């Protein structure tokens, strides 16, 4: 039987300034909006292609 040695976990606390947090939030929100726009464009393209095939 091989003994299992638990790994030690290090706790690291990093202080992030409020301005940096706001910038990160803006980036996250912008990224989410861009993803939503991309998905909408993909759906619109699919609908348009389906309509063209019905003609």
Tell me: the pLDDT tens digits for 5-37? 667 777 778 889 999 999 999 999 999 999 999
Angle subtended at Cα 34 by Cα 28 and Cα 30, rounded to the nearest 5 degrees: 30
Residue 8 lies in a domain: no
Residue 31 lies in a domain: yes
> What's the structural domain count of the chain?
1
Residue 7 lies in a domain: no
Residue 11 lies in a domain: no
Is pTM beyond 0.85? Reply is no
Angle subtended at Cα 39 by Cα 34 and Cα 45, rounded to the nearest 5 degrees: 125
Full residue range of the structural domain in which residue 55 is found: 19-55
Widest distance between CA atoms in the chain: 71
Cβ neighbours around 12 below 10 Å, total: 5
Please give the structure tokens belonging to residue 26.
């803006």
Please give the structure tokens belonging to residue 21.
């947090």
Residue 13 lies in a domain: no
């Amino acid at each position: 039987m091989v003994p299992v040695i638990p790994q030690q976990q290090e706790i690291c606390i990093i202080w992030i300034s409020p301005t940096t947090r706001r910038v990160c939030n803006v980036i996250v929100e912008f990224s989410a909006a861009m993803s939503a726009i991309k998905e909408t464009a993909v759906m619109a393209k699919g609908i348009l292609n389906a309509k063209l095939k019905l003609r």
